Amino acid sequence: MLIVVRDLIRYNLEFAIGAFLTTTVVVFALLSFFAPHPPIDIYVVPPDVPPSAEYWFGTNSRGQDVFWQLTVAIRNTLAFGLAVALLSRILSLVIGLTSGYLGGWTDRVLMFVNDIFVSIPLLPILVLCYFVFRENMTWVTLALIMAGLGWPYDSRLIRSVAMSLRTREFTRHAVFSGLTTRQILVGDHLPYVMPIVFATTMANMIWSIGMEVTLSVLGFTNINVPTVGSMLYWANQHTALVAGTWWWLAFPVILIVMMFVGLFLLAVSMNEYIDPRSRLRRMGA
């Protein structure tokens, strides 16, 4: 894996830029562990102070330092996106590999369920879940719901690769050697789909973070938990643009755009690396 990363940084400008932007956001999020005030405390600093040497990103109308509030918010947002992506990758891997390798009625049943989830309108379902679990709509609950809805597209992609791997000579040798289905899928097929898993993880993080920000801005999440979406929600509630506290909106938007662009470039560059022709062309072959 380290060799792949080295080659991507060396030969792929998009990957290098994406890695730089993503690393910058991650380092900014790690600063949250040095925050001088708890993230949910209000009126700990003078309100509505513009950016200055003392308050780099200014303060908001709730008496919070936007810089430190944003470090905690982006950390929670990244953690949320990563949790959703990892949980949904597990589902897509298990269903995609099993369906593609076993085929037959197993493939038909799993893909029938897959197609049902593909047809579900996500935003209305998430809004409905909020009203059903309003009192218990925690960070973990929302992550589990979105992970349960975010796997079907990538599961079909992994299934197509697994169907190709099933006919390979090394798979036949593994079957004749007496290896179980689990051993074949984990030991022989999983390494072939890991680049796809990495690329789809980046794309799924963009989707899950975007949905969380959208739901938070609309007030359909626990707005008392600091996230980028909840920061934008409170800025909208206090009419930040009308009041002239533009920094309350500007810095969260800039940081979330940096994260989206970074994750997008990582996903695109990884997709290009998966294609042998694109990889050879970039390396000068």
Query: pLDDT truncated to tens, each residue of the chain (285 aa)?
Result: 566 666 666 767 888 898 899 999 999 999 999 888 887 888 888 888 899 888 888 888 888 899 999 999 999 999 999 999 999 999 999 998 898 888 888 889 998 998 888 888 888 888 888 888 777 777 888 888 898 888 888 888 888 888 888 888 888 888 888 788 888 888 888 888 887 888 888 888 999 999 989 888 888 888 888 899 889 999 888 888 888 888 888 999 999 999 999 999 888 887 777 665 555 555 554
CATH code of the domain in which 163 resides:
1.10.3720
Cα separation values, 117 from 120, 124, 125, 151, Å: 5, 14, 11, 9
Distance CA 150, CA 137 (A): 18
pLDDT at 168 (0 to 100): 84
Spell out the residues 6+ positions from residue 216 whose beta carbon is closer than 8 angstroms to its own: 223, 227, 228, 229, 230, 232, 233
pLDDT at 189 (0 to 100): 83
> CA geometry: angle at 252 spanning 44 and 31, to 5°?
60
Domains contained in the chain, number: 1
Distance CA 258, CA 70 (A): 14
Does the CA dihedral 133-134-136-142 come out positive or negative? positive
pLDDT at 274 (0 to 100): 67
pLDDT at 277 (0 to 100): 56
pLDDT at 140 (0 to 100): 84
Q: Is 65 strand, coil or helix?
A: strand
Residue 59 phi/psi, 5-degree rounding, is -125, 160
User: Which domain, by its residues, includes 228?
Assistant: 2-282
pLDDT at 1 (0 to 100): 56
Q: Is 110 strand, coil or helix?
A: helix
Residue with tokens 């800039």: 254
Residue 66 · residue 54 · CB < 8 Å = no
